[in-house]
Structure 1
Amino acid sequence: MSKQRDDKVMSKTTGLDPAEDLDHRSIVLVGLMGAGKSSVGRRLATELGLPFKDADTEIEKASNLSVAEFFERHGEEAFRKGERQVIARLLTGPRQVLATGGGAYMDEDTRTLIAEKGISVWLRAELDVLYKRCMKRNNRPLLKKGNPRKILKDLMDERYPIYGLADLTADSGEGPHEIVVGKIVSALASLPKHNRTASDQ
């Protein structure tokens, strides 16, 4: 397992080559709802010249249901199964920046796959930031089960130790998403090259 590294803001002109320097691996963003995975992911993909995929969007396309509708009709267990399958499919495809749902990294099989096929980046955010962002659009199924702030706090307590297993951590605060992108690019540039898999050789 890769050791977590401190990240620093760095100029976008890092000279990072995602094909060579990242050993053909996808960048997989993990973290709680409201951490900015989709917004940061789009900007990061543009910066690295890679396509961007959002796991939740891909699930919606595959099921022809919104995430909220899927939860309501089929329940969380069925959603997690479908999520696992979608992420597995995406990670066996071309390199990309992939934003995952908040619960995806909690699944051990999914974590193992991400470790094999990608470089995981935890977007870490404080409770106030998450709550403020989530309340802008109150469409999160898990937050409809009670007090949203308490639910977020409970999810932080449960999930942050697992998110901490990610290869890299970038703090996502109140500032522009470009700052977070700069942190991630800097941290990626400082990574030693991963050992190539047999398929890369």
Structure 2
Amino acid sequence: MHPASSDPTYDPRRPIVLIGLMGAGKSTVGRRLAHRLHLPFVDSDHEIERAAGLTVAEMFSRYGEAQFRDGERRVITRLIDGRPKVIATGGGAFMHEATRALILERTTAVWLDADIDVLAERVARRAGSRPLLAGGDPRSRLAELAAVRNPIYALAPIHIHSRPLPHEATVDAIMKILQR
């Protein structure tokens, strides 16, 4: 069931793509949002890992970020196939100019934003699997990433602030905007 919408940023025939920093809840919120909308859910990082036969961390280590981002762009291009679904992207996907243009042109982009302290608490549990946090203080690194990425994430037509509440609250906030 798709919500009726007069909001020009939302077309129920297009995929919904969640963007934002690591720890914003893109995968968890995405699964729940897809369930509510009766749509398939896809996590682009999982699709990249499946296609490469390596984890994201292994790809960063072996090939570097630039080559990883190119592969990520190809996978996201394949996922944005014109069929409605919810797609959670990796935190850096929207930073790649070609990927960002594709997302903005062919999907409904939703920026899940959260305070640095909330992000740091959430990623602390999985910091070892996050290559951009390797070898440093996660909170400081997240603040650096936010300073660079948030102005770009702000290009998304829908902005949701994820608070330290159950993920259902974030899903409710997205649904409210989609149903306008």
* Separation (CA, whole Å) in 1 of partners of 2:50 and 2:97: 24
Residue 22 of structure 2 contacts residue 119 of structure 2 at CA under 8 Å; is this kept in 1?
Answer: yes
Q: How much does 1:147 deviate?
A: 2.1
Query: Is the partner of 1:29 in helix, strand or coil?
Result: strand
* Separation (CA, whole Å) in 2 of partners of 1:114 and 1:37: 15
Q: How much does 1:119 deviate?
A: 0.3
Are positions 1:120 and 2:106 aligned together? Answer: no
Match of 1:81? Answer: 70
* Separation (CA, whole Å) in 1 of partners of 2:108 and 2:130: 26
Query: Is the partner of 2:110 in helix, strand or coil?
Result: strand
Unpaired runs of at least 5, structure 1: 1-13, 191-201
Pick aligned residue for 1:142 from 132, 136, 149: 132
Residue 12 of structure 2 contacts residue 84 of structure 2 at CA under 8 Å; is this kept in 1?
Answer: no
Q: How much does 1:93 deviate?
A: 4.8
Unpaired runs of at least 5, structure 2: none
Q: How much does 1:167 deviate?
A: 1.0
Q: How much does 1:111 deviate?
A: 1.3
- Taking structure 2 as the reference length, the TM-score comes to 0.93
Residue 121 of structure 1 contacts residue 170 of structure 1 at CA under 8 Å; is this kept in 2?
Answer: yes
Structure 1 counterpart of 2:3, one-letter code: L
Q: How much does 1:189 deviate?
A: 1.3
* Separation (CA, whole Å) in 1 of partners of 2:16 and 2:130: 24
Structure 1 stretches of 4+ with a deviation exceeding 3 A read none
Structure 2 counterpart of 1:144, one-letter code: A
Query: What is the CA deviation profile of residues 70-116 of structure 1, one whole-angstrom value per residue up to 9, with x for unaligned ones?
Result: 11111111100000000001002521100000001111111111122
Q: How much does 1:40 deviate?
A: 0.1
Residue 3 of structure 2 contacts residue 12 of structure 2 at CA under 8 Å; is this kept in 1?
Answer: no
Match of 2:87? Answer: 98
Query: Alignment identity in percent?
Result: 52
* Separation (CA, whole Å) in 1 of partners of 2:49 and 2:140: 27
Q: How many aligned residue pairs are there?
A: 175
- Taking structure 1 as the reference length, the TM-score comes to 0.83
Q: Compare CA radii of gyration and give the structure with the larger one.
A: 1
